[in-house]
Structure 1
C-alpha cells in the first residue's frame, strides 16, 4: 500500500488593502485642518485689531462671564468648526496609518515593529508619544521600500508636531476659548506663532502622507504585476 506523503501547507498571505484613496483622504483632511487654522489666525488678528471692549475680557474671573460681542461669538464658531475638522482629520489619518502598517506587513512578511494598538495609543501615552507615531510611519515606509530614503517631509511634519506638543501651543491649548480671546486682545503674536506651527505641521503632514503612500502603492503594483496575491486576514 502506498502511503501519501503530507506536504507542508504554506501560510496564507495577508491581504493588501488599497492605499491611494486612504492617502488622498488623509492628506486632504490635513490640508483642510490647516486651512481651518488659517481662518482661526485671521480671526485672532481681527480681535487684536478691534481691541478689548471697555467691559473687559469675556472671562472676568470667579466664574463671571460677560455676554460675547459679535466678533467674539464668531471666533467661538470658528474654533468649534476647526476642532470638528481636526477630529475628522485625526480619524482619517489613523485609518491611513493602520492601513499602511498592515500593508507593509503583508508585503514584507515581517512583523511590524510596533503593535497595532500603538497606532492609536501612541499619540496619547506620555513619553512614548514623543516617537511612536513617527516610528510607525517610518517602519511602514522602510519595510515597504528597504533602502529608500525617508521623505524629508516626514521629519518636518514630526518636528513641527513636537514643537506644538512640547511647548503647549497649537492644537494642544489648555486655555478656554474665552481666555484665548483675552490673549488675542493683549498679546496676539504668541497665538499666531502657535497657529503657524499647526499650519506648517498640517501641510508637511499632507506631503508626508502623499510621499509614503506613493511608495507603497508603487510596491503593491509591482507585486501584483509579478504574481497574484492571495486573500488572507490583515492583522
Structure 2
C-alpha cells in the first residue's frame, strides 16, 4: 500500500516591509462597477459612431437637404458628448482601478515576496511610462495572479492575456481612428473614420468586460487564499 504524498506546503512567510493583508473586496466591487460605467459610455459612443457613419455615408452618396444637415448636426453633437463621457468614465475608473491594483499587489507580496519581477512602485508608474507601459502592467497583474493562486496549484494567465491583448488592440485602433478623423477632408474619409471608431469602441467594450473578469477573479482568489487559513497571518482587515 503506497503512502499518500503530503500536500504542498506554502513557502516561508516573509512579508516585505510595509506590506500587510487588507481586503480588496470593496475596491474590487467599485472597480467592477466603474468598468461597467465605461462599457455604458462605450455603448453610447457606438450609437453615436453609427449615426455619424450613417449620415456621412449619405453625404458621400450625394444625398443633401435640410434633413441631412439636421441629422449631421445631431450626430456631431452626440459624437462630442460621447467622447466627453468616455473620458470622464475612463479617468474615474483609472483612479479606483489603480487603488485596487495597489491593494492587490501588496497582498500578493505578503503571499509570496519572491514571486514579483517588478518593484511595488511600478504598480502605478508602469501605466504612465512610455514604451514599458505596453507590457509592464500585464506583468504586474500576472505576478499578483500567480502569488494569489492556491499553494501548489498552477494558475494559467488566459484571462489576463486576453484582457491585455484586447486592451492594446483597442488603443492602437483608437489612435488610428482619431488620426483618421482629424485628417479627414471628404465625406468618404469621415465615414471611414467613423467606421474605424465604431470598431475601436467595440474592442473597448470587450476589453472592459475582460477587465471585470480579471478584477473579480483576482479579488476572489486573494480572499479565498487568506480565509482558507493557508497563511500564518491575521484574517483580512
**Do Structure 1 and Structure 2 share a fold, with TM-score over 0.5?**
yes
Equivalent in 15, 23, 26 of residue 20 of structure 2: 15
Give the deviation of 1:126 after TM superposition: 2.8
Higher relative contact order (CA 8 A, sep 6+): 1
- Provide the residue aligned with 2:9 in structure 1: none
How far did 1:179 drift? 6.4
Q: Could you tell me which residue of structure 1 aligns to residue 44 of structure 2?
A: 39
Does residue 201 (structure 1) correspond to residue 214 (structure 2)? The answer is no
Once the two structures are TM-superposed, the CA of residue 74 in structure 1 deviates from its matched residue by 2.7
> Gaps spanning 5+ residues in structure 1: where?
1-9, 55-67
1:217 counterpart = 2:223:
yes
The more displaced of 74-83 and 148-157 is 148-157
Instruction: Please list the CA deviations of residues 49-82 of structure 1 after superposition, one character each: whole Å capped at 9, or x if unmatched.
Output: 223797xxxxxxxxxxxxx834312321121011
Aligned length: 207
- Distance in 2 separating the partners of 1:184 and 1:100: 45
- SS of 2:161's equivalent in the other structure is helix
Q: Does 1:48 align with 2:32?
A: no
More helix by share: 2
Distance 1:201 1:183, change over 3 A: farther
The alpha-carbon deviation at position 142 of structure 1 amounts to 0.9
Alpha-carbon shift at residue 15 of structure 1 (Å): 2.1
Q: 1:202 to 1:220 in 2, by over 3 A?
A: same
Moved over 6 A (4+): 10-13, 176-184
1:83 aligns with 2:94: no
Could you tell me whether the CA contact under 8 Å between 1:26 and 1:93 is conserved in 2?
A: yes
Name the SS for the 1:69 alignment partner. helix
Give runs of aligned pairs for residues 55-134 of structure 1, distance below 5 A.
Answer: 69-110=73-114, 112-134=116-138
- Residue 128 and residue 13 in structure 1: after superposition, are their counterparts in 2 closer, same or farther (change >3 A)? closer
Query: Normalising by the residue count of structure 2, what TM-score does the alignment of the two structures yield?
Result: 0.74
